[in-house]
Structure 1
Amino acid sequence: MSNILVVGPSWVGDMVMAQSLFKLLHQRHPGCTIDVLAPAWSHPILKRMPEVNQALELPLGHGQLGLKTRWQLGKSLAGQGYTQAIVLPRSWKSALVPFAARIPQRTGFLGEQRYVLLNDRRPLHRQSLDQTVKRFVALGLAKGEQPDWGDSANIPQPQLRVDPINQQRLVAELGLDLSRPAVALMPGAEYGPAKQWPLDSFRKLAQQLVQQGRQVWVLGSGKDQAAGQHIAQGQEGGAGQSGFVFNLCGRTQLADTVDLLALTQQAVTNDSGLMHVAAAVGTQVHAIYGSSSPAYTPPLTANKVVHYLGLECSPCFKRTCPLGHLDCLRGIKPSDIAPGQGGRL
């Protein structure tokens, strides 16, 4: 029986997309065991994936080298009976734990001089592996096997488990009102402002949604609290209040966001980790792209609407707009998305 260790990615969206690989591995190796080595923040997401046996903590921050820690962790895993390791990040340091654990087959893409650390090295064919999810899933194929996916619709799609009991708790504790259809707005994008639709556009959209009989839940981390406040100001909802816009940024954990998104009818989001979470719980995703491209990191669901202008200057994949105008995002108007206003929400 296959006993596989996957060294996971360090971003929320990438971790959700990695579930496509886990699904493929179970299809190819029925009864296999999959453990995922990943930062502690990602464990709530991994616990919502039935394909994952257990999440192992990598006790290092994003980008931290920690060679001694990685080596010691690898030595501690040497007796776990892993038959294969699949290393999703393309860095040298990410391949050190499987090497120290003496896992017989260590699979990953060529790069960063990992010739000794990996003994099942795969070339990265950028033309055929033109999406992040395709690159992840390709590492689950046999060496030399040519993928024939067409587009990502032919790849197993992520599907996160939802906790109904936690949903009930959140509705009660956050004072949410389920009498109106809920739309989630996610204004954050960890990568940078060139992926963030203007807050005034989110605010105007929230107003239009309320006028159309919806309620709005603004979701994000503590870093997004000020953004959520800007969107909700003057139309806040909550226990004992009459508004229909709820700023929930920083008031929930990552697993809570999974459950809240499953209660919404639609989610309007930047190209972010929460976009992939929304896609993986089945809500309709309205994905807004600026400096990035829907061809590279699309929401992995058929239930999506992509808003992307495809200007001459985009995608630039920059954190901030190099031209200073952000036309790729400013050109997308709330009326392009809101119900009854020419959009499809």
Structure 2
Amino acid sequence: MTRSLVVAPQWIGDAVMTEPLLRRLDARGEQLTVGAVPWVAPVYRAMPQVAQVVEFPFQHGGLQFGARRRLARELQGRFDTAYVLPNSLKSALLPFLASIPRRVGYLGEARVGLLTHRLRNPKDRPPMVAFYSALSGDTDGLDADRPRLHLAPAAIDAALAAQQLAAGSYHVFAPGAEFGPSKRWPERHYAALARGLDGPVLLLGSAKDAAVCEQIVQDVGGGRCRNLAGRTSLAEAFALIAAARAMVSNDSGLMHVAAAFGIPQVALFGSSSPLHTPPLNDRAQVVWLKADPGYQPPLDCAPCFQRQCPLGHHRCLEDVDAPRVAALLQAASSA
């Protein structure tokens, strides 16, 4: 049996989109250990094909060479192959220092000498699931790959009990976006949507999203919304999403989590593109004014992939109103 180390991306959405790759590797008999930073590790604990998750003691930014060298010493002799999913030099450094014989990844950041098996980066932005799955060396059926996450029923029951909710009795909103304001549907639109829904609405996200979520709570009033941003673990957030009636979100990591659980969802895209990172879910509805022929004047500026609107108007999301999303939410729930 091939013992494989998978060096994971540092973003939740990217981590979810690596699941089909891991499923491919597991299907051909590789024993998988995933190395992931702590805030991404729960994603891999929701993948049954992963035998072990090792939490890397690294932070965003910086080479942190000493920490990588120490961990590499602990990993020496344990693996036959390493799959390096991020494109950075520092992510390829650990498998190299650990002397893992076969090291697979995309070319990037002058790391030719750190990898033994190198794929060329595509010129265009490909769908990310296919991008990761291609590292398996098997390119058949990449377009059919869809991420899947699984939780034990007991974990879902515990999260529901903590919120005193029943499965399917509430909606989830994920109004934040780690990348920046250009990916966020305005709070007033989320509030208008919430006022028209039956039952409670849970607002999920990180502590950085708490202020955005609190603004929605205040706009809606009446205790209809619960601001849980930064107040749940990632595993608890996963459980609440898995048991929700439906979810509305921006293009974010939690959008991909909802897709991987297969729940009805509406995903709002502004500065980014659903051609690159779509929610791969038969029950998903996508809003992207760039692709709407009836929207005038056309959004020639999209997708800009900028953190803030460089033109200052943010039309790509400002002009998506709550009734439109409510209709799509109904369609997703009926699928």
Flag whether TM exceeds 0.5 (same fold).
yes
In structure 2, give the amino acid aligned to 1:314.
Answer: A
Shift of 1:271: 0.4
Task: Tell me, yes or no, if the aligned pair for 2:147 and 2:280 is still in contact at 8 Å.
Answer: yes
Q: Which residue of 1 aligns with 2:161?
A: 172
Distance 1:340 1:67 in 2: 48
Shift of 1:148: 4.6
Alignment of 1:37-186 (within 5 A): 37-80=35-78, 82-127=79-124, 130-141=126-137, 147-149=139-141, 152=143, 154-155=144-145, 157-176=146-165, 178=166, 181-186=169-174
Alignment of 1:1-345 (within 5 A): 1-27=1-27, 29-30=28-29, 32-80=30-78, 82-127=79-124, 130-141=126-137, 147-149=139-141, 152=143, 154-155=144-145, 157-176=146-165, 178=166, 181-209=169-197, 213-233=198-218, 235=220, 243-310=223-290, 311-339=299-327
Distance 1:233 1:196 in 2: 18
CA distance 1:323–1:76, change in 2 (3 Å): same
Task: Tell me, yes or no, if the aligned pair for 1:83 and 1:104 is still in contact at 8 Å.
Answer: yes
Task: Tell me, yes or no, if the aligned pair for 1:335 and 1:343 is still in contact at 8 Å.
Answer: no
Tell me how many residue pairs correspond in the alignment. 325
Percent identical among aligned pairs is: 41
The one-character-per-residue Cα deviations of 1:124-156 (angstroms, maximum 9, x if unpaired) are: 2335x71111111111115xxxx3547x3x11x
SS of 1:337's partner is helix
SS of 1:257's partner is helix
Distance 2:162 2:105 in 1: 44
Distance 1:274 1:341 in 2: 17
Shift of 1:317: 0.2
Distance 2:257 2:328 in 1: 27
Q: Which residue of 1 aligns with 2:295?
A: none
Higher helix fraction (1 or 2): 2
Structure 1 vs Structure 2 CA RMSD: 2.1
Shift of 1:57: 1.9
Distance 2:168 2:303 in 1: 37
In structure 1, give the amino acid aligned to 2:289.
Answer: L
- TM value normalised by structure 2: 0.91
Distance 2:253 2:324 in 1: 23
Query: Can you give the 5+ residue segments of structure 1 that lack an aligned partner in the other structure?
Result: 238-242
Distance 1:343 1:51 in 2: 33
- Stretches of 4+ aligned residues off by more than 6 angstroms: 340-343
Task: Tell me, yes or no, if the aligned pair for 2:285 and 2:329 is still in contact at 8 Å.
Answer: no
Q: Which residue of 2 aligns with 1:240?
A: none
In structure 2, give the amino acid aligned to 1:117.
Answer: L
The one-character-per-residue Cα deviations of 1:264-323 (angstroms, maximum 9, x if unpaired) are: 121100000000111111211211000000000011222210000012110000000000
Distance 2:168 2:154 in 1: 21
Distance 1:283 1:179 in 2: 12
